[in-house]
Amino acid sequence: MDFFGRQQQVRRMSARLVLLFAVAVIGIIVAVDLAVITAFDAWGDPDTIIGLAITASLVTGLSIALASLFRTASLRGGGGKVALELGGVLVPPDTTDPQLRRLRNVVEEIAIASGVPVPEVYVLPEERGINAFAAGWSPSDAAVAVTRGSLERLNRDELQGVIAHEFSHVVNGDMRLNIRLIGLLFGILFLTVIGRTLLRVGIFSGGSSRDRDGKGGANPLPLIGFALLAAGLIGVLAGRIIQASVSRQREYLADASAVQFTRNPIGLAGALKKIAGLPEGSKIKSPREEEIGHMLFGSGRGLSSLFATHPPLADRIKVLEPDFDPTTLAVLEQNWAQQPPDGMREDVTLGLAPAPQRAPQPTGPQQTPPAPPAPPRERAESRVDPDAVVGQIATASFDRAAAILDGIPDGVLARARDVGTVVPLVLGLLMAENPQARAAQHQTLAERLSSQAADSALAAATELTALDPMHRLPLAEVAFPALRRLPVADQQPFLDAVFALIHADGRITAFEYCLSRLLLEELQESLRPKSGWRQPERTLAAAKDAALILLAVLAQAGAAAPAQAD
């Protein structure tokens, strides 16, 4: 399966489809110009034609642009804003729900393994279909949301495949494109509102007008209103077709990237099979589904043909499993009609999770001991040529990420996820081991923040002394979502305290530099998303200078003496 070839092909096609969106808007403006010129019966006067065309073009273009900007601005809150509009609920940092804990762990593992900032995690509790989406302007303000059906029906491998699919949208810059498509469609739809208003005003005004000489004439408002209404409706239909085409191609790209992330096509294919075989499928009941349908993992309405935002399920499965027989879906559908799949139970059966602990049985007749848990399931080897995925994360990266999270105490992780306790924890990561330097840092925090904040950071630093140095930066990554939820007024003082801590002892370590830069990028980007953000091309030539600096820092960090680093 040539995933890189597919990625390049889909990117080129997506660029052409986005260009078609601009052509559709131009077509709408031209149609409105013709209607306005006809309404004013100005075809015999070239000067009037030019004036009306310019005026109509400006009004139509500005109407679309302003409405689009208004809708886009309403989503400036990042991915969490979109999730909340669909009824999403933020996963609590102290949740004990095993399904929510599994979801959060999978998201954090993929984020750490792929080098993407940990996004906020939401659940759509009222949605029983299997679906998910990623939203936001950039990786720094992204959010991942999954439905209740995904938590209940998918096992861990399948859930990991779905989340990896959504992470690919984050990495490839699809989220910004998705939000812009929402804004453009809203702007075109706004023309129908204007047209309906003009049509109603024109009809109620009697359908005629008089000039200053008292001569009667046809009222142009009904015709202009009808033209705007028709152009808006046709434009929306054209936009939906283009939107669906963009989405279909992006879904193939996301599937390919998800396999590169997980190296396990069977997990993603299993999720798609459950969508195809269960009556709920991937349906979304929210009235906003039509607006965000192109952002979903699976089709929210099950539309077909030109308006389908996703490729046919059988085609997506076939790409992942070339030997897949579509007739097996009917068998799965019959089996699941009698006994729907239980993702958590499948985890135990497949060795992806330990069996739940049972309470001691009361004294009585000898009972048959429970069967031992199934041995861990071997991951299916990906069909992708390993030589073709240089630079991509492999299964070992996920295993390493999981091991890192397991090595961090649960209490520390809980404080990193809680907006009320995350600040002293992160400040504690930056406090020096030397007692004199630590005392100076404590004094700095007391002056910049408060004595209580300084004491809390010192207590956190003491607790984190035993933490493996390799776990410190991943712990900070887990803390990013909570830091992004800090009140805006508290974020700059926090950053000032971070830089004061770093400079308090007169030296900057590689860890301090990396963490401070990550914090700066995360908080500034979440507050002021870059308008032109897009994923750069991953070529070694373009990253030559950055790679040299990185290698030099690694050489110094790994050397016992400066001379050895040379």
The alpha helices in 115-219, defined as continuous H runs, are 148-153, 156-171, 174-204
> Under a CB-based contact definition with an 8 Å cutoff, are residues 96 and 136 in contact?
no
Q: For residues 471 and 20, what is the distance between their CA atoms, to the nearest angstrom? A: 47
Nearest to 123 by CA among 114, 113, 133, 115: 133
Q: For residues 469 and 407, what is the distance between their CA atoms, to the nearest angstrom? A: 11
CA 334 to chain centre: 34
What are the φ/ψ torsions at residue 184 (nearest 5 degrees)? -65, -45
Q: For residues 132 and 295, what is the distance between their CA atoms, to the nearest angstrom? A: 8
Over the range 88-118, which residues count as b (16 or more CB within 10 Å of their CB) and which as e? Answer: bebbebeeeeebbebbbbbbbbbbbbbebbb
What are the φ/ψ torsions at residue 127 (nearest 5 degrees)? -100, 120
Sign of the dihedral defined by the CA atoms of residues 194, 196, 201, 203, in that order: positive
Mind telling me the catalytic residues?
Answer: 166
DSSP code of 89?
A: E
What is the H or E stretch that residue 120 is in? strand 120-124
Nearest to 11 by CA among 195, 246, 231, 240: 246
> Under a CB-based contact definition with an 8 Å cutoff, are residues 43 and 283 in contact?
no
> Under a CB-based contact definition with an 8 Å cutoff, are residues 232 and 195 in contact?
yes
Nearest to 250 by CA among 538, 5, 7, 24: 7
Say what the alpha-carbon torsion angle 335, 336, 342, 343 is, to the nearest 10 degrees: 90
Could you tell me how many residues make up the chain? 566
Structure tokens at 3: 């995933």
Q: For residues 259 and 563, what is the distance between their CA atoms, to the nearest angstrom? A: 43
Q: Taking the chain, what is the end-to-end CA distance rounded to the nearest angstrom?
A: 42
Furthest C-alpha separation in the chain: 108
